[in-house]
Structure 1
Amino acid sequence: MLKTLLSATLIFMTSIVVAQDNFEKSLDSVQTLDDVNLFFKKNKKAKGKVIVFNEEKHKTKMAEDILKMGIGSKKYFKDAPQKTYYKVIEKYEIPYYRVSCVYLDGSIKSLEEINNIRQDVISKYKQGYRFTDLAKRYSMDNTAKQGGDLGWFTYGDLHPEFEKQVLKENHSVNDIFTIDIPEIKAYYVVLMTQDKKLIEEAKVLKVTEPRK
Structure 2
Amino acid sequence: MKHLFTLLLFIPLFGFSQMALEQQLDSISTSDEATSFLKENKPKQGKLFTFNKEKHKTRLANDLFNLSKGGKKVIRTDFKKTYYKVIDKAEVDYIKFNIIVIDASKTTVEEAIEKRDKVLAQYKEGYRFKDLAKHYSTGRTAKKGGDTGWIKAGEMSAAFDEVAFNENHAIDDIFSIDDIENKKYYLAVKTENKTPIEEIVVLKFSENIE
Superposition TM-score, scaled by structure 2 size:
0.82
State the 1:145 CA deviation.
0.9
Bigger mean CA offset, 69-78 vs 16-25: 16-25
Q: Which residue of 2 aligns with 1:26?
A: 24
Number of the residue aligned with 2:70: 72
Rounded Cα–Cα distance in structure 2 between residues aligned with 1:51 and 1:130: 36
Larger radius of gyration: 1
The letter of the residue matching 1:160 is A
Summarize the Cα distance change of 1:158–1:46 in structure 2 as closer, same or farther, 3 Å threshold: closer
Larger deviation, residues 177-186 vs 160-169: 177-186
Report deviation, 1:206: 0.9
Deviation digits for residues 159-194 of structure 1, max 9, x if unmatched? 211211111221121112222334544322211111
Question: Gapped runs of 5+ residues in structure 2?
Answer: none
Q: How does 1:36-185 map to 2 (within 5 A)?
A: 36=34, 39=37, 43=41, 47-79=45-77, 81-106=79-104, 107=107, 109=111, 111-124=113-126, 129-185=127-183
1:57 match: secondary structure:
coil
2:54 aligns to what SS in structure 1?
A: coil
Q: How high is the sequence identity, in percent, across the aligned residues?
A: 39
* SS at 1:100 equivalent: strand
1-structure distance, mates of 2:102, 2:32: 44
CA distance in 1, matches of 2:129, 2:78: 43
- In structure 2, relative to structure 1, the CA distance for the partners of 1:11 and 1:46 (3 Å cut) is farther
Q: What is the SS of the residue equivalent to 2:69?
A: coil
Mapped to 2, the partners of 1:80 and 1:197 lie a distance apart of 42
Query: What is the CA distance between 1:92 and its match in structure 2?
Result: 0.9
Indicate if the aligned counterparts of 1:23 and 1:209 stay in contact, CA closer than 8 A.
no
Q: In structure 1, give the amino acid aligned to 2:55.
A: K
Q: Deviations over 1:76-124 (max 9, x none)?
A: 2235841010011111111111100222334263544432331222331
- CA-to-partner distance for each residue in 1:119-174, whole Å, 9 max, x for gaps? 222331xxxx4322232233244422110112221111112112111112211211
Residues of 2 paired with 1:156 and 1:45: CA distance?
25
Give the root-mean-square deviation of aligned CA atoms.
2.8
Q: Report if the CA contact (8 A) 1:47-1:210 is conserved.
A: no
What corresponds to 1:10 in structure 2?
A: 8
SS at match of 2:185: strand
Aligned length: 206
- Are the equivalent residues in 2 in contact too, given 1:46–1:207 (CA < 8 A)? no
TM-score by length of 1: 0.81
